[in-house]
Amino acid sequence: MTTDLNYIRNIGICAHIDAGKTTVTERILYYTGKTYKIGEVHEGTATMDFLQEEQERGITIQSAATTCPWEKDGKEYKINLIDTPGHVDFTIEVERSLRVLDGAVAVFDGKEGVEAQSETVWRQADRYGVPRLCFVNKMDKIGADFEFCMKTIKTRLGANGIAIQYPIGHGHELEGIIDLLNMVAHFYIPEDKGAKIEERPIPAEWMDKAKQWHTEMIEKVCELDEKLTEKYLNGVEPSVDELKAALRKGVVTKACFPVLCGAALKNVGVQKVLDAVIDLLPCPNEKAEVQGTDPRDKELKMTRPHDDAAPFSALVFKVVSDIHGDLTYMRIYSGSLEKGQRVINPVNGKKELASRIFEMHAKDRIPLEKATAGNIVAVVGIKDSYTGDTLCDPDNQIVLERMTFPEPVISMSIEPKSQDDRRKLADALGTIRREDPSFRTNFNEETGQTIISGMGELHLEIIKNKLIRDMKVNVEVGKPQVSYREAISRKVEDVRGLFKKQTGGRGQFGDCTIDLEPFTAAQAEAEELDFTDNIAFENIIVGGSIPKEFIPSVEYGARQAAISGVTAGFPLINIKISLSDGKYHPVDSSQIAFEQAGRLALQEAVAKAGPILLEPIMKVVVTVPEEYFGAVTGDISSRRGMIIEQEDRGVVKLVTCEVPLSEMFGYTTQLRSLTQGRGSNTMEFLEYRAMPRNLMEEVVKAQKA
């Protein structure tokens, strides 16, 4: 297969849960010849959903990568494709996939249009500057409405959607699609699983609608290009090639998002999506050179061209544990990687060996001797590099921009049943942590429990099942707990921390005075202060009352006290610690003594600064039939929820609200019983907010019990 970058496309399929992403991917694999039988999600036979949990639940949990060929206009293209999850608990999988993709296909449900998680995915793609095509799927569903979906793309996403297709019928009457660029109709032959497409003139009864949408499309495309605008105003209609060129330019610059339609389950429209991927989404060298920094000087910006001849650089975006050794997925941005080549991780300085390279097809793999710029591959032999790390040429080092991972909002205790299980648990948790950057684990020395934290109830349940069923670790699991945060409500000054110990001979002496105040990331940026763990530290001592070598010890002690929590054992965030004064002893002072002084000063300051607890607030979008609207909104209010917006969608209402996570355990079951199984909801983390004093006291009491 060619290594010419013009013939490579790196794309992802992403959308709201149940919009049909995996079904679209399965059809792509079938039509590109990667599979000979179409896998179905509802039968648990989807190629890309190969985990047991995915097949049982009918959802995608981890992003799966594949490489498939597609021929267009007599030329063969290579499509590196990633199918991502739609469930918000696995949003990290979408995040890390979008980071390494050049383009994406956003899939929407033909009846529902833009849904809550569609907006989240869209924002993630905006953040990473990923050009997109839109595919309105499920046009065969009862109630499907293409024009309504177009409207929601404009109103809910604020996106310049340009329809380049229009469906011929909808629901059971869906027969095919109208190509608005070429003004022809495509009919799909069901007997051939849609592999054969008949091109016919547009049926007479659809001609007026086709002309109306064709005119609207031309007007919108001409707005993207001054020359075409001039031509159109002079009464000359641009050619199909001119329209395609303007559309491609608009897609690459994210000025527009072409909209296609079809029904993947009925095999309608998928090949045309592949054609549009080739025609309209960028190849690797149409994207800007990848940005990075010099590992020796983080202020020094560097770039790498998308070129095989440039020094090697790649970004690790996923690690999957495997019995034959960890599979490290990476996107190669520049240069090439040969089997057996040594590379370096400039972040930790570790040398790595790429002992084997594979082109992936879901869980199957094809060995490669060499991989070049623009490709996505999996490598065996990488030992010390994880998601977000850079791998590069040892003689030409660069650190590529890292990914940001959200903090977990929910945790639960987990205890091994035997000593043997204790050993197995430590290994198993290390493996899961390598695979999943949104998963956290820590050991509570007071209770002797291991605490695991994640993005939601489903996330933790799947990790629990993985430990017990796949990794064969016998564990007892506690109930899910909310991950609160500690903060302060006011500034305090001149709080002293004195650590003094005399045990015969040399003693220990550390004495420091600090100011403590509420602080934000924006303030830290304005004052150019490091804000690691949402804590800023500043030394404002004048006159050297503490020797310079002890100041990092004060900072370390204070930071450690903040991380382990002061009021209730939860991390203390959004604070600035200013070291203003102190004393030292020429013999008894030591780093350990000043660490302890820093810890004591912070604990004392927090007690005086009006400690508060912050709780995670979730953005919840509930879809509810009108007759149950009152019961559902009443239930939300009883959960301390605040209704932000409501929207009519035919016979159902969409209710957007903000609710504390602590009130949302078991909500899906309650919603089903309130709506006789007809209501559904999505939930994603919004922000941390101060909780009411009476509830805070209950949580603090429970923590200390």
Domain match, 100 and 19 both = yes
| Within-domain flag for 72 | yes
In Å, how far are 162, 213, 217, 243 from 238, measured between CA atoms? 16, 16, 12, 6
Domain match, 279 and 206 both = yes
Question: Of 286, 318, 335, at which residue does a domain stop?
Answer: 286
In Å, how far are 81, 191, 510 from 593, measured between CA atoms? 56, 80, 5
d(CA 436, CA 439): 6
pLDDT in the model for residue 38: 42
pLDDT in the model for residue 25: 74
pLDDT in the model for residue 689: 93
In Å, how far are 72, 157, 244, 518 from 161, measured between CA atoms? 25, 10, 15, 43
pLDDT in the model for residue 63: 46
pLDDT in the model for residue 60: 38
Question: Of 579, 609, 639, at which residue does a domain stop?
Answer: 609
User: Average pLDDT, stretch 262-287?
Assistant: 89
Cβ contacts of 648 within 8 Å, gap of 6 or more:
654
Domain match, 549 and 429 both = no
| Within-domain flag for 405 | no
DSSP string, 61-85: -S-EEEEEEEEETTEEEEEEEEE--
* Per-residue tokens: 186: 């495509």
Q: Are 638 and 671 in contact (CB under 8 A)?
A: no
Q: What's the chain's average pLDDT?
A: 84
Phi, psi of 270 (to 5 degrees): -70, -40
* Per-residue tokens: 540: 């404002």
Number of structural domains in the chain: 5
User: Average pLDDT, stretch 325-336?
Assistant: 86
More confident residue, 16 or 548: 548
| pLDDT over threshold 50, residue 11 | yes
Element (H, E) at 493: strand 492-501
More confident residue, 112 or 611: 611
User: Average pLDDT, stretch 688-693?
Assistant: 92
| pLDDT over threshold 80, residue 668 | no
Q: Which of 55-64, 208-217, 515-524 bottoms out in mean pLDDT, i.e. has the lowest? A: 55-64
Question: Of 593, 609, 625, at which residue does a domain stop?
Answer: 609
**Placement of tokens 């097949």 in the chain:** 55
pLDDT in the model for residue 535: 94
* Per-residue tokens: 705: 């019990």
- CATH number of the domain residue 665 falls in: 3.30.70.240
Domain match, 391 and 430 both = no
| pLDDT over threshold 90, residue 490 | yes
pLDDT in the model for residue 679: 80
pLDDT in the model for residue 5: 84
**Structure confidence by residue, pLDDT tens digits, 113-150:** 887 667 777 877 887 888 999 999 999 888 899 999 99
In Å, how far are 128, 132, 251 from 162, measured between CA atoms? 22, 12, 10
- CATH number of the domain residue 388 falls in: 2.40.30.10
Residue 448's pLDDT band, with cuts at 50, 70 and 90, is low
Kindly report the pTM of this predicted structure.
0.70
| pLDDT over threshold 70, residue 59 | no
- CATH number of the domain residue 187 falls in: 3.40.50.300
**Structure confidence by residue, pLDDT tens digits, 211-260:** 999 999 999 999 998 888 888 888 888 899 999 999 999 999 999 999 99
| pLDDT over threshold 50, residue 62 | no
Domain match, 312 and 216 both = no
| Within-domain flag for 292 | no
Give the residue numbers spanning the domain of 348.
304-400
pLDDT in the model for residue 86: 45
**Structure confidence by residue, pLDDT tens digits, 145-181:** 999 999 999 988 889 999 999 999 888 888 899 999 9
**Structure confidence by residue, pLDDT tens digits, 455-484:** 777 778 778 888 887 778 888 887 777 889
Residue 502's pLDDT band, with cuts at 50, 70 and 90, is confident
User: Average pLDDT, stretch 613-618?
Assistant: 92
Bridge partners for 684 per DSSP: 619
Instruction: Please give the angle made by the CA atoms of 116, 119 and 122, to the nearest 5 degrees.
Output: 150
* Per-residue tokens: 213: 């949408």
Q: Are 628 and 679 in contact (CB under 8 A)?
A: yes
pLDDT in the model for residue 494: 94
